[in-house]
Amino acid sequence: MNTYDLTNRVAIITGGGQGIGYTVAKRILDSGGLVSVWDIDQGLLDKLAESLGADDHRLQALNVNIGDLDAVKKGVAAAIDKFGKIDILINNAAIVGPNAPTWEYPAQDFIDVIHIGLVGTFNVSRSVVPHMIKANYGRIVNVSSVAGKEGNPNAPAYSSMKAGVLALTKSLGKELADYEISVNAVTPAVAKTTMALSQDPEFLKMILSKIPRGRMLELSEAASMICWLASEENSFTTASTFDLSGGRATY
């Protein structure tokens, strides 16, 4: 496994209590970085220090609802207070919502999925970017989905939210192109996460059948790409999308 030089780089990772976010947090810590992990599940946060094997000065665990802009501002202030800067932002937090056709989809669930996954990503980016501009350095990686490219049937909210994350990535990346700040997105296929595995088995079977690799994405594979995008080596590419779909995506 390659090692990325993230020595003394400070990262905020939303939805970092489990799944892709957790795996990225561990990889950044193993690469010499410092991490502020945000999650809304306090139980997951309580276990972080022990499970990640990080000492207090390198790891911060914050209960933050990214759908609440005031809570996000407080989280950013707490990260700055502890670490003094923010070099990396991994916008990973999202919710999936139920599986149903668009004409039967619960209206409130649609609103909730969009609010957490898209408005929340906007809230965190809006609050972190001014600190990166001041330092003239930053790496932002937004975790979208192949569903944001192609649309999954019976997942209209999730597909729409992840498509919005891709558009936000391109917009913000172009706005920040004059700075030493890159903004990119990754589009995973279904991965071995608690959130993904909680979906209807028939739905999982359907989306798995679309992957030419014939298997789910491993969390370590997602972390490898995300951490490279978060490194100083990624100095030119911005406002772009990187595929993690196992061959499913056609563009």
Which tops the pLDDT comparison, 228 or 250? 228
Dump pLDDT digits (tens) for 82-110.
999 999 999 999 999 999 999 999 999 99
Catalytic residues: 158
Dump pLDDT digits (tens) for 158-171.
999 999 999 999 99
Of 186, 180, 187, 185, the closest CA to residue 236 belongs to 180
Q: Is a pLDDT exceeding 90 seen at residue 191?
A: no
Which tops the pLDDT comparison, 241 or 214? 241
Q: Can you give the pLDDT at residue 233?
A: 96
Left if phi > 0, otherwise alpha if psi is -120 to 50, otherwise beta: which for 76?
alpha
Q: Can you give the pLDDT at residue 165?
A: 98
Mean pLDDT of 51-77: 94
Q: Is a pLDDT exceeding 90 seen at residue 186?
A: yes
Burial of 144 (0-12, 13-18, 19+ CB in 10 A): buried
65-to-120, 162, 218, 227 alpha-carbon distances in Å? 8, 18, 27, 24
Q: Which CATH class is domain 10-190+219-237?
A: alpha beta
| pLDDT class of 156 with cuts at 50, 70, 90 | very high
* Average pLDDT taken over every residue of the chain: 94
Q: Can you give the pLDDT at residue 207?
A: 82
For the chain, how big is the Rg over CA atoms in Å?
Answer: 17
pLDDT above 90 as % of the chain: 84
Which tops the pLDDT comparison, 196 or 9? 9
Domain locations in the chain?
10-190+219-237
- Which residues are CB-neighbours of 12 under 8 A, at least 6 positions away? 35, 36, 38, 75, 76, 79, 86, 88, 89, 90, 124, 128
Q: Is a pLDDT exceeding 80 seen at residue 43?
A: yes
pTM of the model: 0.95
Dump pLDDT digits (tens) for 103-132.
999 999 999 999 999 999 999 999 999 999
